[in-house]
C-alpha cells in the first residue's frame, strides 16, 4: 500500500541562515546537540536534523515505509515579521521547497507558504507558486496575527484559489488568548486545536466555503475539535439567525467536504472523524519530526482501526494521491 504523509514540517536551511542574519522576530540559538533553536514570543521550536536535512529525512522515510511526504513550513510561518520581510522570507521558503520537489519529486510534494500579513502580496505569491511553479496549494495558518481567515481582505486570494482548484491546508498557530496558555505547553496541546476549530467554523459561517467552492480545504490535527463539536454547530445554525445569514445549509454539510489529517493517534478519535467525514476525507499525517509527532504512531493507529484493505489503503495514501494528483 502506498503511504503518503501529508502533515509534517520542514525548515529550509536557507531560511535558517536568513533568520540568523536578521533582522527577525525570531531569536536563533543552538541547543547542546547543535540544533538550531527558534524562539519567538510564547514559543520555542527545536529544529532537529529531520526538520532541515532533506537527504536524512528521505532515509527516515525509507526506514519507516513512507513513500511520499507533502512537506510544508511550520507555524507561524513568516507572519511574525513586518510585511516586507514576511514577503521576502516567504519567497525564499517557496523557492527552497520547489528545489526539493525538483530534485526529489518522486518522494516529496510541497505546499507553499504565503505572507498573509500582506494580502496583496500573498495574491501575487499565490500566482507565482501555484500558477507558475505548479504547487498544488498552500498552507495557511489558523489566524493572521489575530485576524481571522474569513476576513474579506483575503477574499481576492480565495477567489483566485477557487478558480485554480487549489489545496488550502489550515494549520494552527498562536491562538487568540495565547497569554492564558503559557504553562505546560498548553498552546500546542490545547490552543492549537481550538485555533483550527475557530478558523474552520468562521470560514463556514461567513460563507467563504460556499462562495469559493473550488478550494479544497484540509484541516490539521484531525480538524481540531470539529468532529466532536459538529452537532453543536448545527444546533447553532437552527437556533441563531446570524448563523444562517451567509449559508443556506447546516454547517456540517460544508465541513464534511473538508479533508482531515490523522495527527491524533487515538483510534477512537479517528473512528469519530471517519464517521463524521467519511473514509474518502481522511489523510494520513504524522507531524514528523516535531517532538509530539511520530511516523510509527501514525501507522500503528491507522492499523488499529481494523479497516478492510481497500479502506486502509485510501487513508494511507490513496486519498492524498487523488488530492495532490500524484501516483
25 belongs to a structural domain:
no
pLDDT tens column, 255-272: 999 999 999 999 999 999
The total number of structural domains in the chain stands at 1
pLDDT tens column, 211-247: 999 999 999 999 999 999 999 999 999 999 999 999 9
Q: Check pLDDT > 90 for residue 171.
A: yes
Whether residue 168 contacts residue 140, with contact meaning beta carbons closer than 8 Å, is answered with: yes
* Whole-number percent of the chain with pLDDT over 90: 91
Q: Check pLDDT > 90 for residue 183.
A: no
153 belongs to a structural domain:
yes
306 belongs to a structural domain:
yes
Alpha-helix runs per DSSP H in 36-168: 49-52, 54-64, 83-104, 119-126, 155-164
pLDDT of residue 107: 98
* Whole-number percent of the chain with pLDDT over 70: 99
Identify the domain containing residue 87 by its residue range.
Answer: 4-10+49-324
Q: What is the pTM of this model?
A: 0.96
Where residue 152 sits, what CATH number does that domain have? 3.20.20.140
pLDDT tens column, 155-164: 999 999 999 9
111 belongs to a structural domain:
yes
Q: Check pLDDT > 80 for residue 42.
A: no
307 belongs to a structural domain:
yes
Task: Pick 186 or 42 by higher pLDDT.
Answer: 186
Measured between alpha carbons, how far is 276 from 295 in angstroms, rounded to an integer?
24
Amino acid at each position: 500500500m502506498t503511504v503518503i504523509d501529508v502533515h509534517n514540517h520542514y525548515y529550509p536551511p536557507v531560511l535558517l541562515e536568513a533568520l540568523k542574519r536578521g533582522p527577525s522576530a525570531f531569536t536563533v540559538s543552538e541547543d547542546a546537540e547543535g540544533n538550531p533553536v527558534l524562539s519567538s514570543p510564547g514559543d520555542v521550536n527545536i529544529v532537529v536534523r529531520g526538520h532541515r536535512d532533506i537527504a536524512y529525512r528521505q532515509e527516515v522515510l525509507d526506514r519507516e515505509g513512507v513513500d511520499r511526504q507533502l512537506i510544508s513550513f511550520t507555524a507561524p510561518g513568516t507572519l511574525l515579521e513586518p510585511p516586507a520581510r514576511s514577503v521576502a522570507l516567504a519567497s525564499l521558503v517557496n523557492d527552497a521547497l520547489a528545489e526539493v520537489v525538483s530534485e526529489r519529486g518522486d518522494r516529496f510534494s510541497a505546499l507553499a507558504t504565503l505572507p498573509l500579513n500582506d494580502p496583496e502580496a500573498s495574491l501575487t505569491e499565490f500566482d507565482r507558486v501555484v500558477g507558475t511553479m505548479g504547487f498544488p496549494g498552500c498552507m495557511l495558518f489558523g489566524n493572521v496575527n489575530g485576524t481571522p481567515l474569513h476576513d474579506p481582505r483575503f477574499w481576492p486570494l480565495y477567489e483566485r484559489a477557487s478558480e485554480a482548484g487549489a489545496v488550502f491546508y489550515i494549520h494552527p498557530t498562536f491562538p487568540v488568548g495565547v497569554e492564558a496558555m503559557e504553562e505546560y505547553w498548553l498552546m500546542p496541546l490545547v490552543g492549537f486545536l481550538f485555533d483550527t476549530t475557530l478558523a474552520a467554523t468562521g470560514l463556514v459561517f461567513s460563507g467563504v466555503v460556499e462562495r469559493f467552492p473550488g478550494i479544497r480545504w484540509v484541516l490539521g490535527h484531525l480538524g481540531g475539535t470539529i468532529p466532536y463539536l459538529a452537532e453543536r454547530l448545527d444546533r447553532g445554525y437552527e437556533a441563531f439567525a446570524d448563523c444562517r445569514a451567509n449559508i443556506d445549509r447546516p454547517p456540517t454539510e460544508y465541513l464534511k467536504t473538508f479533508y482531515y489529517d490523522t495527527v491524533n493517534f487515538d483510534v477512537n478519535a479517528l473512528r469519530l472523524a471517519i464517521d463524521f467525514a467519511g473514509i474518502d476525507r481522511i489523510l494520513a499525517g504524522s507531524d514528523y519530526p516535531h517532538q509530539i509527532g511520530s511516523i510509527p504512531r501514525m501507522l500503528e493507529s491507522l492499523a488499529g482501526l481494523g479497516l478492510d484493505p481497500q479502506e486502509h489503503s485510501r487513508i494511507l495514501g490513496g486519498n492524498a494521491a487523488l488530492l495532490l494528483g500524484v501516483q
